[in-house]
Amino acid sequence: GFKCGIVGLPNVGKSTLFNALTQTAAAQAANYPFCTIEPNVGDVAVPEPRLAKLAEIAGSKEILPARMNFVDIAGLVEGASKGEGLGNQFLATIRETDAIAYVLRCFDDDDITHVNNRIDPLADLETVETELMLADLESLEKRKSGLEKKAKSGDKEAKATLVLIDIALAQLNDGKPARFADVPKDDRKAWRNLQLLTTKPVLFIANVDEGSAGTGNAYSEIVMKRAEEEGAEAVVISAKIESELALLENEERDEYMEAIGLEEPGLDRLIHTGYSLLGLQTYFTAGPKEARAWTIREGWTAPQAAGVIHGDFEKGFIRAETIAYDDYVACGGEAPAKEAGKMRAEGKEYIVKDGDVLHFRFNV
């Protein structure tokens, strides 16, 4: 599955947030309970109100939401890139994620020490990113000499890779994460293949005190401003509040949220932001047995989307019978939508849209 790593200095609230994520009703909404894949990997349901509506209309017995993974990556301290703390293990775990969520401490609490004895979310961000940049620098330098030899003996691919490595090195040596580099469109794939830590999409999580859950505070404002400048995603959340909300259900939860001025659980916002940060979107299947959300990348074709359900669906793909979610709901289900001419037969080239309700026809 798609993975978002939770990263930050010690005592900023990572575990509190991770535990809240894995205890929440959303995590357990599927027919199988939250499962701990590994102690630090949480498999979380993506909250999706459209799914309940589809199930109601189709009379589905079961609701199966889309899922994504959050990984609690502890052990980052200054010097991690040099093997301090859990350094190497830490970096290896980050390498396997598709995106990085930085938890930034935006709450004062004299009883909870901060490693640098001050609350300064941007300085924390810099400390953490610096370790990732140093790790990237080291791995690029290591690769470079081997590639230079190959390039000299006329290897075109090595030459092209070297150009990209130099683009990345220029950024990193300038103290900037590699994601800010200007990479020609045609080289994007090779660029991704460099597998750098600082080219992963990022999300800032401003972890505020309980009293600021609905409003944010002065620290989180600084974080939001930075996110805007960088074009990064950001969410304000109080991990402490979320860990309490995760234990409540329905009305109790709604009342508590209203009392503290929260419109929707911070975790729902976090999961949605993470999902779109990964470039993911959802299509549905709906029938009497189940209503289900499937995860695809933006831009995927109908056969690729079919392949998420089963490889044979992709191989033997004939067509996708497609109803847009809004049409499905407005018409009151599949049969009436078909009668109203809202069901389209789409072929191999069709780019699936978020919210499409699909039936695949395929050869076996």
Looking only at residues 12 through 31 of this chain, which bind ligand GDP when binding is defined by CB under 6 A?
Answer: 12-16
Supply the minimum distance, in Å, between the C-beta of residue 9 and ligand GDP. Answer: 7
Closest CA to 100 of 73, 80, 121, 123: 73
Please give the Cα distance from 154 to 195 (Å, whole number): 24
Identify which of residues 207 and 301 has a Cβ nearer to ligand GDP in the complex: 207
DSSP letter for 274, please.
Answer: H
Supply the minimum distance, in Å, between the C-beta of residue 260 and ligand GDP. Answer: 12
Residue 250 annotated as lining a ligand binding site: no
Q: Which two tokens stand for residue 80?
A: 């991690």
Q: Three-state SS for 319?
A: strand
Residue 71 annotated as lining a ligand binding site: no
Identify which of residues 148 and 210 has a Cβ nearer to ligand GDP in the complex: 210
Q: Judged by CB under 6 A, how many residues of this single chain contact ligand GDP?
A: 17
Residue 338 annotated as lining a ligand binding site: no
Supply the minimum distance, in Å, between the C-beta of residue 317 and ligand GDP. Answer: 45
Sign of CA dihedral 126, 132, 133, 138: positive
Identify which of residues 98 and 124 has a Cβ nearer to ligand GDP in the complex: 124
Identify which of residues 147 and 213 has a Cβ nearer to ligand GDP in the complex: 213
Q: In this structure, are residues 114 and 127 in contact, taking their beta carbons and an 8 Å threshold?
A: no
112 binds ligand GDP per the rule CB under 6 A: yes
Burial degree of 234 (CB within 10 A; 0-12, 13-18, 19+): buried
**Of these, 11, 31, 113, 215, which contacts ligand GDP (CB under 6 A)?**
11
H-type alpha helices, the chain: 14-23, 49-58, 87-95, 121-152, 156-173, 188-193, 218-230, 239-245, 250-260, 266-277, 302-309, 311-315, 325-331, 334-339
Quick one: which segment of 5-13, 82-90, 257-265, 356-364 binds ligand GDP (CB under 6 A)? 5-13
Looking only at residues 275 through 334 of this chain, which bind ligand GDP when binding is defined by CB under 6 A?
Answer: none
Supply the minimum distance, in Å, between the C-beta of residue 238 and ligand GDP. Answer: 5
Identify which of residues 15 and 276 has a Cβ nearer to ligand GDP in the complex: 15
Looking only at residues 79 through 108 of this chain, which bind ligand GDP when binding is defined by CB under 6 A?
Answer: 107
Closest CA to 102 of 138, 82, 79, 126: 126
Ramachandran sector of residue 140 (left: φ over 0; alpha: ψ -120 to 50; beta: rest)? alpha
The pairing of beta strand 280-286 with beta strand 233-237:
unpaired
Supply the minimum distance, in Å, between the C-beta of residue 243 and ligand GDP. Answer: 8
Binding mask 156-195 for ligand GDP (x = CB under 6 A): ----------------------------------------
Cα 105 to Cα 25, 99, 125, 170, 239: the distances in Å are 25, 19, 10, 30, 10
Closest CA to 315 of 307, 327, 323: 307
Closest CA to 55 of 345, 354, 333, 268: 333
Residue 198 annotated as lining a ligand binding site: no
201 binds ligand GDP per the rule CB under 6 A: no
Looking only at residues 207 through 246 of this chain, which bind ligand GDP when binding is defined by CB under 6 A?
Answer: 207, 209-210, 238-240
Residues contributing to the site for ligand GDP (CB under 6 A): 8, 10-16, 107, 109, 112, 207, 209-210, 238-240
Residues of the binding site for ATP: 11-16
Residues of the binding site: 11-16
